[in-house]
Structure 1
Amino acid sequence: MTDAALAESDSAGAPARIDLTQQLRDAILGADFAPHQRLIEADLSERYGASRASVRTALLNLASEGLVERLPNRGARVRAISVDEAVEIVEVRIGLESLCARKAAENLTADDAAELRHLREAITDAVGSGDLVEYSRLNQELDQRVREMSRHTTATRLLERLRAQSARHQFRLAFHPGRAGTSAQEHIAIIDTVLAKDPDAAEDATRAHLASIIALLRSMD
Structure 2
Amino acid sequence: MPENPDVRSKLRSAILRGAYAPRQRLIEADLAEEYGASRFVLRNALIQLEAEGLVELTPNRGARVREITPAEAVEITEIRQSVEGLVAARAAERVTEEQIIFLRQVGEDMREAIENHELMRYSELNSLLHGTIRDIAEHAAANRVLEQLNGQMVRHQFQLFLVPGRPNTSFPEHLDIIEGVCTRDPHRARAAMETHVGSVIATLTQFAEATPVH
Q: Could you tell me the TM-score, scaled by structure 2's length?
A: 0.87
Query: What do the CA deviations read for 1:60-82 (whole angstroms, capped 9, x no partner)?
Result: 22111011010111211011111
* 2:75 alignment partner in structure 1: 88
CA distance in 1, matches of 2:131, 2:101: 16
* 2:109 alignment partner in structure 1: 122
Structure 2 counterpart of 1:191, which letter?
I
Q: State yes or no: 1:216 paired with 2:184.
A: no
CA RMSD of aligned residues (A): 2.0
* Structure 1: tracts of 5 or more residues without a match: 1-11
Higher share in helix: 1
What is the deviation of 1:112? 1.8
Query: What do the CA deviations read for 1:8-61 (whole angstroms, capped 9, x no partner)?
Result: xxxx96xx433x322222222222211111111232234334443333232222
* 2:149 alignment partner in structure 1: 162
CA distance in 1, matches of 2:115, 2:31: 39
Structure 1 counterpart of 2:5, which letter?
R
CA distance in 2, matches of 1:192, 1:132: 23
- Which stretch has the larger CA shift, 76-85 or 178-187? 178-187
Q: 1:47 to 1:180 in 2, by over 3 A?
A: farther
* Structure 2: tracts of 5 or more residues without a match: 209-214
* 1:190 alignment partner in structure 2: 177
Q: State yes or no: 1:172 paired with 2:159.
A: yes
Among 97, 106, 112, the alignment partner of 1:110 is 97
Aligned residues: 207
Q: Could you tell me the TM-score, scaled by structure 1's length?
A: 0.84
Q: Is the contact between residue 105 and residue 195 of structure 1 (CA under 8 Å) also seen in structure 2?
A: yes
Q: 1:86 to 1:51 in 2, by over 3 A?
A: same
* 1:36 alignment partner in structure 2: 23
Q: 1:47 to 1:134 in 2, by over 3 A?
A: farther
* 2:211 alignment partner in structure 1: none
CA distance in 1, matches of 2:123, 2:32: 30
CA distance in 2, matches of 1:33, 1:152: 31
Q: State yes or no: 1:17 paired with 2:8.
A: no
